[in-house]
Amino acid sequence: MIFWAVLLLGIAGLAWIRLAPSDPAVWNVDPQVSADQDLASGVRRRIQGGTETFERLHRIILESPRTEVLAGSPGEGRATYVSRSKWMGFPDYTTVQQNEGQLGLYARQRFGQSDMGVNKTRVDGWLARLAAQQD
């Protein structure tokens, strides 16, 4: 009996991780990037760029597997994307905001204590692809 209760709780927990609603009012907020930072739960990056750069970055982000727009757009000056892990469906949120000739990126996890560098790898990969397009 205990086995089945534990199994049911585990399945319910995994379902919550995958199906929990993502409220744009919570996640599509000013990333407040003042400097590049590597955090336990994510990463912040700041690059030079305007609307055209944001639009190129937007296309790169949407080419990423299991990534979609939660809210906003480059035309609005801010967009937040949800990227989900392949097996468990853990959501990570990345907000990009244009401000005075710069783009601020803030990628963070929703669940857990550490993202184990996943957001850093993802964001730095996007920025490397963006830089390669500009060369």
Query: Does 130 fall in a domain?
Result: yes
Alpha-carbon Rg for the chain, nearest whole angstrom, is: 16
- 3-36: per-residue pLDDT in tens? 888 878 877 777 766 778 889 999 999 999 999 9
Query: Does 92 fall in a domain?
Result: yes
Per the structure, the count of domains in the chain is 1
Query: Does 7 fall in a domain?
Result: no
Query: Does 37 fall in a domain?
Result: yes
Domain with residue 46: its CATH number is: 3.30.310.80
Q: How far apart are CA 45 and CA 31, in angstroms?
A: 10
What is the value of pTM for the model shown? 0.89
- 43-101: per-residue pLDDT in tens? 999 999 999 999 999 999 999 999 999 999 999 999 999 999 887 788 999 999 999 89
Torsion angle of the four alpha carbons 56, 103, 82, 130, in this order, in degrees rounded to the nearest 10? 40
Query: Does 13 fall in a domain?
Result: no
Q: Give the range of the structural domain holding residue 30, as residue numbers without chain letter.
A: 23-134
